[in-house]
């Protein structure tokens, strides 16, 4: 935790948008309220998750040497930041990077934050985000402000919200694409960010864009909602649009996304997605988190009925300017080269250069330019490397940088003439690891290192595999090099094991009262065709024998594959029984007395146990939009009191009225499908739905508290002194309490049948 | 040094003499043992393994107040003490505390069976960093403001000698000072 937090606000506030300034001030107030015991644990947990501040796995006394337990006495005592999560426990901050796009200054700031608040590492995730670990919650607002000052938000990076909008990192430079999806991904990000229609989900909602159907880069079919760029000709004119998919997802129960529409025009893509969000928000499961993703709703209703509901919803939506306004400036995301095109890759005496070029250079569709792929081990990059990369990006390009779902970074628009020089500069920064996109480039979720749900050490295994495969790669057959390995710490599949040739996910087994970390082997998933097929589990192998398993399976593929046969087809042809036979003996575990190394995980000397698994925060708590609105109203009342203390009577009265309006909005959500956007409509809806019907009436006080709101609405704009501001805060507090009571009465009413 | 320059988040790094003699797997084992024993006067929480990152943070023992690591930044292995939470002391006293704390870690490690006879330190150089860009921007003015406190702290820990100081040239870095101690320092 840093001492300097308050001063950063003054330093960066000028560079932040007024909206983010306000939002982050509010978040800081919420932290204050939580510390004062005025905010419920569940609500605060979901509030911080929606700001990207995750709980991180930590021992919390549940694990010591694997056998004993030992309480960690955090100085915070009993203060918590969510259910079962100590205030002082280290946390993770997820930073949304829409479509993976970054500039040089942003890289520098990420490096600064990693050094000052984290452990010196910025981690690229499998959804193009950046994560910082070992963050103290008290530091989160400052980090968010420093990010906001360079145009980055963490808002809705976690929790039951629209997550990072991912896109193919080669968008705009790929010869296979129908067109560049970048401006569409950008527009969708900011249209849905904080949108009222996206605040009432039972779980997360992940969108992805791809420029074409066949390549894997967008992974559209494993997303909640996905878009594949396409064009059609209408009246001799080429029209842009998207094939739109819904209901895909990995996790314990993977689903391929289903086609919602073969062609959604560019004018319709935002409103139709909003309609999907409205249907999901209204009909999606809220109580059972295990069934709350959109894929289950699509399953339950069937794609035809789901589509019908979406298009019906679309037909009644009121137009919003942002649906199409971005189309006038589609070119703002266009990238230009900094340097002239080069005719061919300039030479370099370094013998490693040619080897690196084979795998780490991507030929752009623009003649004379390439994209350089920086392979990051396990997605990790240091602050020094981020600074060096920002220098290189400025020197050779117009800062055209993207993160990838393979946990790498791409530098686009490098002139062929500069490749050798870029290589030298990257080498000085220790950023020239060859083998990008090959079997060596293993991706992994955080697993037991930091994730509360991890069962086995996915990063530990991935690091082992990387090291061993890199040594062998010099003599490796191309067919093996081209395979994809992905590792997840548990069945939730954040590492994407379902769409790899060789996928592994963490499980455990017990023998004679001892636990042994294992990985389930999942074979034959398809990375190409936008994650076109999911692999099948073949059995669990002890973690320490997975490297041998990889050797066996790759050797068998090499020995037995038919010409040009893919690994997926090979697995399908020879069948599960034969594959199992190949690895059956590896399932054996020596006894504890014979070899204790099997009984601890990679890079962890402690005896293996699952006792430190916590409650996952992947989905966050399901907190209704009503609860959020009421919590916001209470925060506003608190801020109104602070204003009054500073003799700002006018500001206090306005804030008190805003609190009433916010509470009203929450209450209306319980009854009205289309809650008004402006205050006047909200007041009117409140009057007709709650006041005139007497639904809001208190059994003892009658309509008194509702009348406070109607009177306050009628008297807005009048002069205010300290006494009247004080009275308005009191009345607003009573009104907010009455909203709580009204909702309680409504939920207690017996339902028909 | 003026009172307004409230030195916090002081980092200290002592460099390992023969990095080749050190297996960082041992560091993981030792740090886990320290957590189990709660060996240091800090709440020890977790071990982070970054051995796969070239010139990276190596292996970190994460505590509530500080991180303690076998740090490999700039391919220069050393023991890094990285203070996270604020401390009561100011100026030279704070720098002195950080140096003493880093020394304590080094001595614990040297005495550990896993490193006995293998872990030795460079005795004529150390590095001091201020891990907060608001407190210490990496420029000449901050450097000059830091020097009196830094010198006083070094003298109080290692005694008088002709210390020389060099600031890291990249202004984007944290305020980082390499200290040369020609007569050597006892670790
Ligand atoms: S797959 Fe499991 S272990 Fe890995 S990040 Fe997801 S929930 Fe955590």
ipTM value for the complex: 0.96
Ligand 1 atom at minimal distance to the Cα of residue A493: 1
Q: Which residues of A245-263 are buried (b: 16+ CB within 10 A; e: fewer)?
A: bbbbbbbeebbbbbebbee
The answer to whether A214 and A175 have CB atoms below 8 angstroms apart is: no
Give the number of C-alpha atoms closer than 13 A to the C-alpha of residue A711, restricted to the C-beta side: 12
Which residue among B55, B57, B135 places its CB closest to the CB of A119?
B57
Note down the domain range covering B92.
10-180
Using CB atoms, pick whichever of B25, B54, B67 lies closest to residue A430: B54
Ligand 1 centroid to Cα of residue A490, in Å, is: 5
> Could you give the CA distance from residue A699 to residue A696 in angstroms, rounded to a whole number?
9
What was the pLDDT predicted at A748? 67
Closest Cα partner for A334 from A243, A383, A400? A400
Please give the biggest Cα pair distance in chain B: 44
Please report, in angstroms and rounded to a whole number, the separation of the first and last CA atoms in chain A. 55
Two structure tokens written together for A457:
């050490």
Query: Would the CB atoms of A58 and B86 count as touching at under 8 Å?
Result: no
Kindly state whether residue B4 falls inside one of the protein's structural domains: no
Contact criterion met (CB < 8 Å) for B134 and A7: yes
Phi, psi of A287 (to 5 degrees): -85, -45
Q: How far apart are CA A215 and CA A527, in angstroms?
A: 8
Distance CA A345, CA A69 (A): 58
Calpha distance B55→A322 (Å, rounded)? 46
Q: Are A362 and A164 in contact (CB under 8 A)?
A: no
Residue length of chain B:
187
Specify the pTM.
0.89
Say yes or no: CB of residue A488 within 6 Å of ligand 1: yes
Q: Which protein residue's CA is at the shortest distance from atom 2 of ligand 1?
A: A490
Chain B contact residues (CB < 8 Å to A): 6, 8-9, 25, 28-29, 32-33, 35-36, 38, 43, 45-57, 60, 62, 64, 67, 73-75, 84-86, 131-135, 170, 172-174
Q: Tens digit of pLDDT for each residue in A252-310?
A: 778 889 999 999 999 999 999 999 999 999 999 988 887 899 999 999 999 999 999 99
Using the structure block, give the residue that is written with the tokens 């704070």: B94
Q: Is the CB of A447 under 6 A from ligand 1?
A: yes
Q: Could you tell me if residue B185 is inside a domain?
A: no
Opening angle at CA B24, ends B31 and B8, nearest 5: 55
Is B186 domain-assigned?
no
Which residues make Cβ contacts (< 8 Å) with residue A642, sequence separation at least 6?
Answer: none
| Alpha carbons A9 and A597: distance in angstroms, whole number | 50
3-state secondary structure of A89: coil
Cα distance between residue A426 and residue A388, in whole Å: 8
Q: Which tokens in the block code for residue A610?
A: 């699952």
Q: How far is the CA of A492 from the centre of ligand 1 (A)?
A: 6
Contact A75 B52 (CB under 8 A): no
Q: Would you call B57 and A73 a contact, using CB atoms and an 8 Å cutoff?
A: no
Ligand 1 centroid to residue B29 C-alpha, Å: 25
- Residue whose CA is at the smallest distance from ligand 1 atom 6: A494
The domain tally of chain B equals 1
- The contacts of residue A77 (CB under 8 Å, 6+ apart) are none
Q: Is residue B36 part of a domain?
A: yes
CA pair distance A683, A676, nearest whole angstrom: 9
A323, A191 Cβ separation under 8 angstroms: yes
Residue burial A150-162, b: 16+ Cβ < 10 Å; e: rest = bebbbbbbbbbbb
B64/A88 Cβ within 8 A: yes
What six digits make up the tokens of A411? 């530098």
User: Which residues on chain A are in Cβ contact (under 8 Å) with B9?
Assistant: 2-3, 116
Tokens standing for residue A678: 């402006």
* Whole-number pLDDT of residue B1: 41
Q: What is the pLDDT of residue A207?
A: 97
Q: What is the Cα Rg of chain A in Å?
A: 27
CA of A452 to the centre of ligand 1 (A): 8
Q: Could you read off the pLDDT of B29-88 as tens digits, one per residue?
A: 999 999 999 999 999 999 999 999 999 999 999 999 999 999 999 999 999 999 999 998
* Chain centroid to CA B110: 15
What average pLDDT values come out for chain A (753 residues) when binned by 10 residues?
Answer: 70 94 93 93 90 84 80 90 90 96 98 97 97 96 96 93 96 94 97 93 94 79 94 93 94 85 97 97 88 93 97 96 93 90 81 92 96 98 98 98 97 97 96 96 93 92 96 92 95 90 92 90 82 80 97 95 93 88 93 94 91 65 75 85 87 93 92 85 94 89 90 88 86 88 75 37
Of B106, B107, B100, whose CA–CA distance to B83 is shortest?
Answer: B100
Q: DSSP letters of chain B?
A: --TTS---SEEEEEEES-GGG--HHHHHHHHHHHHHHT-SSS-EEEEEEETTSTTS-EEEEEESSEEEEEE-GGG--EEEEEE-S--S--HHHHHHHHHHHHHHHHHHHHHSTTTTTT--EEEEEEEEEE--TTT--SSHHHHHHHHHHHHHHHHHHH-S---EEEE-S-TTS-EEEEEE-TT----
Q: What pLDDT does A619 receive?
A: 47
Q: Is residue B141 part of a domain?
A: yes
User: What is the number of the ligand 1 atom nearest to the C-alpha of A490?
Assistant: 2
CA A209 to chain centre: 15
Instruction: List the Cα angle B137/B141/B142 in 5-degree steps.
Output: 40
Q: Rounded to the nearest 10 degrees, what angle do helices A269-283 and A182-192 cross at?
A: 40
In angstroms, the CA A72 to CA A184 distance is: 47
A674-699 as b/e: b if 16+ CB within 10 A: ebbeebeebbebbbebbbeeeebbbe
Q: CA of A569, closest CA in chain B: separation in Å?
A: 33
Q: What is the DSSP letter of A132?
A: E
Task: Go through the domains of chain A in sequence order and give each one's CATH number.
Answer: 12-148 (3.30.70), 174-333 (3.30.413.10), 341-437 (3.90.480.20), 450-609 (3.30.413.10), 612-753 (1.20.120.330)
């Amino acid at each position: 935790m840093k001492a300097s937090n308050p001063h950063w606000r003054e330093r960066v506030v000028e560079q932040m948008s007024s909206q983010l300034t306000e939002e982050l001030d509010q978040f800081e107030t919420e932290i204050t309220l939580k510390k004062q015991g005025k905010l419920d644990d569940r609500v605060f947990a979901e509030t911080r998750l929606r700001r990207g501040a995750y709980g991180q796995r930590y021992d919390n006394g549940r694990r010591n040497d694997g056998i004993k337990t030992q309480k960690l006495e955090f100085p915070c005592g009993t203060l918590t930041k969510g259910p079962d999560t100590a205030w002082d426990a280290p946390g993770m901050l997820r930073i949304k990077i829409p479509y993976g796009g970054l500039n040089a200054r942003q890289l520098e700031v990420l490096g600064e934050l990693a050094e000052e608040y984290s452990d010196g590492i910025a981690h690229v995730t499998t959804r193009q985000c950046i994560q910082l670990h070992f963050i103290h919650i008290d530091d989160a607002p400052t980090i968010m402000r420093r990010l906001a000052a360079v145009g980055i938000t963490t808002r809705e990076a976690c929790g039951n919200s629209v997550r990072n909008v991912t896109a193919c990192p080669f968008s705009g430079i790929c010869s296979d694409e129908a067109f560049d999806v970048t401006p569409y991904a950008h527009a969708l990000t900011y249209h849905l960010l904080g949108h009222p229609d996206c605040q009432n989900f039972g779980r997360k909602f992940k969108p992805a864009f791809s420029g074409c159907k066949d390549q894997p880069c967008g992974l559209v079919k494993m997303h909640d909602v996905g878009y594949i760029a396409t064009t059609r000709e209408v009246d001799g004119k080429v029209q842009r649009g998207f094939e739109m998919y819904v209901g895909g997802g990995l996790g314990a129960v993977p689903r391929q996304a289903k086609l919602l529409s073969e062609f959604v025009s560019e004018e319709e893509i935002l409103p139709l997605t909003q309609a999907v969000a409205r249907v999901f928000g209204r009909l999606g499961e809220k109580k059972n988190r295990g069934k709350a993703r959109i894929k289950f709703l699509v399953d339950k209703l069937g794609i035809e009925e789901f589509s019908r509901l979406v298009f019906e919803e679309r037909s009644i939506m009121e137009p919003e300017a942002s649906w199409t306004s971005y189309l006038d400036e589609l070119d703002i995301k266009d990238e230009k080269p900094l340097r002239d095109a080069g005719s061919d890759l300039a030479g370099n005496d370094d013998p490693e250069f040619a080897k690196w070029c084979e795998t780490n250079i991507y030929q752009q569709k623009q003649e004379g330019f390439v994209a350089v792929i920086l392979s990051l081990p396990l997605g990790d990059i240091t602050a020094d490397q981020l600074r060096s990369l920002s220098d290189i990006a400025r020197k050779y390009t117009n800062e055209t940088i993207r993160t990838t779902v393979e946990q790498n970074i791409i530098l686009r628009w490098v002139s062929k003439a500069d490749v050798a020089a870029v290589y030298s500069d990257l080498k000085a920064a220790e950023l020239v690891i060859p083998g990008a996109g090959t079997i060596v480039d293993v991706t992994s979720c955080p697993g037991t290192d930091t994730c509360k749900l991890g069962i086995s050490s996915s990063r530990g295994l991935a690091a082992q595999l990387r090291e061993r495969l890199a040594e062998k790669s010099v003599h490796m057959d191309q067919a093996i090099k081209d395979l994809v390995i992905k590792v997840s710490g548990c069945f939730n599949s954040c590492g994407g094991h379902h769409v790899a040739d060789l996928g592994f996910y963490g499980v455990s087994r017990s023998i004679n009262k001892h636990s042994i970390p294992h990985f389930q082997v999942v074979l034959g998933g398809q990375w190409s065709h936008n994650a076109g097929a999911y692999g099948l589990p073949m059995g669990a192998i002890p973690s320490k024998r997975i490297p041998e398993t990889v050797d066996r399976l790759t050797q068998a593929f090499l020995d037995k594959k038919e010409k040009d046969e893919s690994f997926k087809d090979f697995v399908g042809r020879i069948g599960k029984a034969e594959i199992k036979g190949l690895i059956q003996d590896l399932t054996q575990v020596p006894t504890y007395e014979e070899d204790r190394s099997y009984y601890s995980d990679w890079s962890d000397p402690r005896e293996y146990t699952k006792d430190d698994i916590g409650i996952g925060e992947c989905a966050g708590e399901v907190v209704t939009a009503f609860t959020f609105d009421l919590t916001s109203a209470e925060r506003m009342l608190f801020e109104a009191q602070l204003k009054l203390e500073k003799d700002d009577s006018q500001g206090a009265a306005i804030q008190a009225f805003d609190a009433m309006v916010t509470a009203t909005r929450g209450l209306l959500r319980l009854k009205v499908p289309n809650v008004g956007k402006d205050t006047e409509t909200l007041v009117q809806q409140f009057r007709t739905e709650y006041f005139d019907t007497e639904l809001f009436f208190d059994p003892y006080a009658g309509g008194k508290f509702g009348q406070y709101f109607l009177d306050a609405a009628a008297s807005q704009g009048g002069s205010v002194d300290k006494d009247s501001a004080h009275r308005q805060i009191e009345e607003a507090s009573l009104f907010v309490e009455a909203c709580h009571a009204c909702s309680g009465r409504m939920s207690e009413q017996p339902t028909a049948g | 040094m003026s009172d307004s320059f409230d030195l916090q988040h002081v980092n200290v790094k002592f460099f390992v003499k023969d990095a080749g003699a050190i297996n960082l797997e041992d560091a993981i084992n030792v740090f886990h043992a320290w957590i189990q024993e709660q060996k240091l006067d800090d709440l020890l929480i977790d071990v982070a393994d970054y051995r796969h990152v070239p010139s990276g943070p190596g292996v970190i023992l994460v505590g509530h107040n500080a991180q303690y690591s076998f740090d490999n930044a700039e391919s220069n292995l050393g023991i890094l003490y990285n203070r996270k939470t604020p401390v009561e002391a100011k100026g030279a006293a704070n720098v002195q505390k950080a140096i003493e704390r880093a020394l304590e870690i080094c001595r614990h490690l040297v005495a550990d069976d896993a490193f006995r006879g293998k872990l030795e330190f460079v005795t004529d150089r150390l590095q001091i960093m201020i891990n907060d860009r608001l407190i210490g921007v990496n420029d000449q003015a901050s450097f000059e403001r830091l020097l009196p406190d830094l010198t006083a702290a070094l003298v109080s820990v290692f005694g008088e000698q002709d210390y020389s100081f060099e600031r890291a040239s990249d202004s984007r870095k944290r305020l980082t000072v390499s200290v040369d101690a020609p007569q050597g320092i006892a670790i």
